[in-house]
Structure 1
């Protein structure tokens, strides 16, 4: 029985300040538009935390540290491969906020983000995972599309 799986590895980071704000990115693509945490892909041979630090610097101009793993979001694609998103958070950052070609980045009150209607890709569940202690994993299979939070 083959145990190896093909996987695409990515990250998202909830950068927050001490005033109740979170850093969000407004992604705009050909068939999507909405708010999500900044992040990106893990490069071959790159450590997961290093990829999160690099992606935040590239997409926001900020340098982050003391990055903590909050949980994992993953799903099985139609071809059987996995898509894995490592979710991190930190309130330790420096630098000047600058948007990139990935999308506009800006600070938003966390409570306003919770109520926003234009969130992308299961952002409500990722907020719960990043802010709470309810569960540590979001999983779904594209064939049944049901999101299954996995309890700690």
Structure 2
């Protein structure tokens, strides 16, 4: 992930120099920046929790790789070329507003994926299905629900 972070950073810097504007003008550049945001979150959490087990890396690393893979896949080949910005996008606010927005999306996606992972882990431990005589038991914390199906 360290190599990925520096490669994506180099790609964004090269694209900035080549195009003459901050690389957030189309879907391809936004996906590359989103992948960079995932990599940045991964690097910050890796450096912060270096001595402890870091569960966030199980979410951020695949997210960065899948986002980068989708951006560079054959689906977006026409968007790989840099174009001149529309007059409405030729503002300094593009760099500030859109970059913070995409980084916020990266953080939101990481948090959402972590919450889904937590729910899956919690329910996997709490759900017990008993297959005898069509009985099943569902327990969630202190709440327990029992159902007995009748054979029709």
Q: Normalized against structure 1, the TM-score is what?
A: 0.23
Structure of higher RCO (CA pairs closer than 8 Å, 6+ residues apart): 1
Determine which structure has the larger helix proportion and give its number. 2
Max radius of gyration: which structure?
2
